[in-house]
Structure 1
Amino acid sequence: MKNDLKSLQDKIDSLGITQYDEIQEMIKQENEKLSKLRDDNLLLNTKNEQLNISISKQENTITTQSKKLSRIRELYKSVDYSLNNFFDSDIPYESLKIHKSILDEIDSISPTVELKLHCMDVKSLRKEYKSNAKQIDNILSKYSSRYTTKANKAIYNLMVIALKAELQNILYNLKYEKLDKSIDDIKKITEKYLKIAGEGNQSIAGTLTKFIGEVEYLFINAIKIEYNYYVKKEQAKQEQLAIKQQMKEEAEERKLLQQQQKKIEKEEEKYKNEIEKLQSQLLPENNSEENEKLKARIIELQTQLADVNIKKEEIVKLQNGKAGNVYIISNLGSFGDDIFKIGMTRRLNPQERIDELGSASVPFKFDVHSFIFSDNAVDLEKKLHELLSKNRLNKVNLRKEFFKLQIDELEELVTSIDPTAEFTKTMIADEFRQSQSTDELYTDDYNYNDENIDDYSDELCNC
């Protein structure tokens, strides 16, 4: 029986039944571990969702508190501005002021209007203007409650109406070149109303002085916000115009490239036909003189065909990608010796674009200092513009691609970007220099009379 039992056990082992049971037990254990991991993962996901909700709430709280802090800070600054500019007192006001380190810390959390303006878009500036207007209304409401008699209330309300009208008039007439003037106008207006208040009811003069001082600060903020709004709005407008202009130029360039491609394809077809024609004329005698001439001519035509194919490939490359030439040009007679225009063209012959620019818009032709070919001319132009952003002449209209710098700096920049690019430092400015050298007009409309023509003809004959 022992032998039979051992024999049966050997058969079971040979069939792998024992291993099967062991594997099943292992699978069961792994499934239990997997189930536990899933439960742990579900718990972690739940905690993660709760944490995200908590973070979102904290962010909203921070945003709300930052806005409150910003409003309080602006109110503090308006009071501080009022006391510094409109009050002469023996009270040691310095002891009541917030320490500069605390103000700096507040500014790092919630920047002042002046710090934020340049980083804000049109929509954000509108919100900031409404927030500033709300603070003005709060001050108007706060001071309104201080007057109890009908006469004083009437004086205050009339002053509020007048001040609002004055502010709206300044905002209406605000232009890009009048920011400083508009701020001065606000100060003159508040000075005028302070004088009226001082010469009028002395019982309310002190309160009106403090009120006008606080309002003046917020009025100046309103002017700065509105000014930046106009600037940003103009920039957005110019960007749209630039996009439209670029699309127009690209359409014209594509049209020209298509015309050049058709012309190249015709030339290519002519060369191919001529080569086929010559090849058909080859005689069986390989060493004949006639065959050698035909072969030489075929090689010459194939070389010319290769040049045509290269041009064709360039045109296809210009059509399908961002390839093109970044140009650097100047116009000594029109702009001076340190003003340069940096633009981009996809023309196969970039000089055509330069000739267009100098045809009618400026009194003299442009000088070319460099053509930089690039597979991505758009990005190269953008990179150059970014590197020279501080040198821009027009800070508002970015379509005006003119920069003020020394030609040596420009050459160094071009060399660092593309060492193989040629750069010409000389400003030829031939038309400008010729115009400066004489007061006489150079014209091409001189007509010979019949007598002069006959005399000139006789001279030619005698020669």
Structure 2
Amino acid sequence: MAWLLFALSTGSAGLVLLWALKMRGRLNQIRQKYAPALDIDDYVSKEEAKLFKRKNEADKDLSQALDELHKVQDLCTDAEEKLNDIEEQLALAREDAVLMDYGYYEPNYNFESSGIWEKHLSDVNAQLKAMIQNVQHKADKASLSDECAGYITSVVTFNNSSAKGIRMQKASIKLILRAFNGECDGFIAKVNYKNVQLMMKRVEASYVAICKIGEKANMVTINEIYKELKKTELGYVYEYEEWKQREKEEQARIREQIREEERANKEFEKSKREAEKEVKRNADALEKARSEVEGANEKQKTKLLAQIEELEKRMIEMEEKNRYISQAMLTKTGHVYIISNVGSFGDDMLKIGMTRRLEPMDRVKELGDASVPFPFDVHAMIRTSDAPSLESALHKHFDARRVNLENNRKEFFYVTLDEIQRELDALKDELNIEADIHITMAAEAKQWRMSKARRHHLEQSYEG
């Protein structure tokens, strides 16, 4: 009540003062009452400031972390690519290791030319590799897949375990395939025209013997389809080797033809030089003879005129020879010859060849030098502007009558002179053969006939 009495005594100013004091008291009470809440607000403000600071730091750390993450992701991508490459290499290595376990090695045939043989052998080897990596459990051959190289005919147990028995049988399949592949590789490496059928039989015998052992020991065997593929591979290798041999023979024929052309060209060039010199000598002699005619007496004039006539005739012959040489050098002009050698080969064998030499008999003499006991007899020497085409046409027509059906370089045929005459008559217009075609039917065979008579005489002398 003291504040009331004070207010009354002091008037309105006192009342205001008293009210202010009262409010301050109440404020103090409120502050005391809500002091914990005010402390929380300060705490919250301080924590908010801390959180804001931490947020800024966290954002900065997050940005750095994201940068590091991107770098790590790039490293992971590179690592994955490298890992994929390594896994591919490991897959190939594992495949090679599996194939080697079964005794299979990728063959290398040193193909000289890409073609049918390379494709066929590549397909066969791809099938063999695919079959090797597949093992089946089949007791019924009729239902057996063609995708396995070996199979289990009947599952056996080992230590009362079927799983162990199957593992043992798979190891046995690997063993018999190693043996079969090894033997087949040996057969393939040795195959040639003399033993191809024998090598086929050996593949079959090897298959039967190895399968018998596998079935008897561990109830496993080799797929018959795999065996047939190995025989196919052997056949392709044989055919490829034969093809290579034919290619070599064809190359040898081409080289021989080139050498013959070179010899002919050298002969042409030499003859042309000699002909040019001869023409010059004749021209000089002719000019000299003509200049001497005017001052000569009758006797000398007659002699000089005869000389001039002879020189003019020789000049015409030399001009004709020069034209022939020039034509032969620029075209395929040459001679196709039909020759025989009764003493060496009998009556029913003829050689059909071609030469572009100026002296075709030089070629015939070469053929009869040392390789045969008697010289050849010439039945026809046909000069034509395209000798290679005529020779090729005759060879093609009588191809089935060749003595040597494997080597076309050997130009001997089982054919008669009448048959050749008929074919030449048919080809004359077709190939525009200008010269008359005349075949000498009889073979002189002088040395053979004289040798035969002398031998008969010696035999009679010995008997006497």
TM category, shorter: 0.5 to 0.7
Moved more, 318-327 or 139-148: 139-148
Distance in 1 (CA, whole Å) between partners of 2:363 and 2:342 is 18
Q: Deviations over 1:310-340 (max 9, x none)?
A: 1222122222221111112222233333332
Residue pairs, 1:372-387, within 5 angstroms: 372-387=382-397
Residue from 134, 137, 143 that aligns with 2:129 = 137
- C-alpha separation in 1, matches of 2:217 and 2:346: 58
The corresponding residue for 1:355 is: 365
**Identity level (%):** 30
Task: Report if the CA contact (8 A) 1:325-1:372 is conserved.
Answer: yes
Letter in 2 for 1:132: V
Query: How far apart are the structure 2 equivalents of 1:288 and 1:234?
Result: 76
Is 2:264 aligned against 1:247? no
Is 1:154 aligned to residue 171 of structure 2?
A: yes
CA distance in 2, matches of 1:191, 1:408: 57
Partners of 1:169 and 1:269 lie apart in 2 by 72
Q: In structure 2, how many angstroms separate the alpha carbons of the residues matched to 1:336 and 1:226?
A: 38
Task: Evaluate the alpha carbon distance shift between residue 428 and residue 179 of structure 1 in structure 2; reply closer, same or farther with a 3 A threshold.
Answer: farther
**Superposed, which structure 2 residues align to 1:318-329 within 5 Å?**
318-329=328-339
CA distance in 2 between partners of 1:177 and 1:410 (Å): 34
1:216 maps to 2:233: no
Query: TM-score with structure 1 length normalisation?
Result: 0.62
Matched-pair contact (CA < 8 Å) for 1:129–1:225: yes
- Asked whether the 8 Å contact 1:341–1:401 carries over to 2, the reply is yes
Higher RCO (C-alpha 8 Å, min separation 6): 1
1:427 and 2:419 matched: no
In 1: Cα distance, 2:321 partner to 2:402 partner? 36
Which amino acid counterpart does residue 310 of structure 1 have in structure 2?
Answer: E
Q: Quick check: 1:235–1:398 contact (8 Å CA) kept in 2?
A: no
Q: Cα 1:336–1:216, aligned 2, differ >3 Å: closer, same or farther? A: farther
1:176 counterpart SS class: coil
SS of equivalent to 2:392: helix
In structure 2, what is the Cα distance between the partners aligned to 1:249 and 1:417?
A: 25
Segment drifting more, 349-358 vs 190-199: 190-199
1:134 alignment partner AA: A
Q: Does the 8 A contact of 1:257 with 1:319 survive in 2?
A: yes
Q: Does 1:341 align with 2:357?
A: no
Counterparts of 2:447 and 2:349 in 1: how far apart (Å)?
A: 18
- Find the counterpart in structure 1 of residue 182 from structure 2: 165
Which residue of 2 is the match for residue 411 of structure 1?
421
Q: Say which SS state the counterpart of residue 191 (structure 2) adopts.
A: coil
1:355 shift after superposition:
0.1
Distance 2:113 2:347 in 1: 36
- The corresponding residue for 1:200 is 217
Describe how 1:32-431 pairs up with structure 2 within 5 A: 123-143=115-135, 146-147=151-152, 149-201=166-218, 203-204=219-220, 208=221, 211=223, 213-283=224-294, 291=301, 293-418=303-428, 420-431=436-447
Deviation for aligned residue 1:158 = 1.3
The answer to whether the 8 A contact 2:354-2:388 is kept is yes
- Equivalents in 1 of 2:114, 2:364: separation in Å? 35
CA separation of 1:251 and 1:222: change in aligned 2, threshold 3 A:
same
Tell me how far 1:372 sits from its aligned partner. Answer: 1.6
The amino acid across from 2:266 in the alignment is K
1:7 maps to which residue?
Answer: none
Secondary structure at 2:317 match in 1: helix
Aligned to 1:281, the other structure's residue is in SS state: helix
Q: Deviations over 1:8-29 (max 9, x none)?
A: xxxxxxxxxxxxxxxxxxxxxx
What amino acid does structure 1 have at the position aligned with 2:289?
A: L
Query: How far apart in 2 are the matches of 1:130 and 1:268?
Result: 66
Which secondary structure state, in structure 1, belongs to the residue aligned with residue 236 of structure 2?
helix
Change (3 A) 1:432 1:193: farther
- The 1:133/1:438 distance shift into structure 2, 3 A limit, reads farther
CA distance in 1, matches of 2:346, 2:211: 50
Give the distance between the partners of 1:382 and 1:334, measured in 2 at CA.
25
**1:322, 1:377 within 8 Å by CA — same for their partners in 2?**
yes
SS in 2 for 1:393: coil
Select between 131-140 and 145-154 the one with higher mean Cα deviation.
Answer: 145-154
Which structure 1 residue ranges, 5 or more long, are not aligned? 1-119, 443-463
Aligned-residue offset at 1:403: 2.4
How many Å apart are 1:228 and its aligned residue?
1.3
Confirm or deny: 8 A CA contact 2:368 2:374 kept in the other structure.
Answer: yes
For 1:195 and 1:433, the matched residues in 2 are separated by: 66
What is the Cα deviation at residue 243 of structure 1?
A: 2.1
Q: What's the secondary structure of 2:305's corresponding residue? A: helix
Provide the aligned C-alpha RMSD in A: 2.8
Distance 1:415 1:293, change over 3 A: same
Q: Deviation at 1:254?
A: 1.6
Assess, with a 3 A threshold, how the Cα gap between structure 1 residues 171 and 435 changes in structure 2: closer, same or farther: farther
SS at match of 2:118: helix
* Equivalent pairs, count: 316
Native 8 Å contact 1:122 1:233 kept in 2: no
| Amino acid aligned to 1:324 | G
The DSSP-based 3-state class of the residue aligned with 2:383 is strand
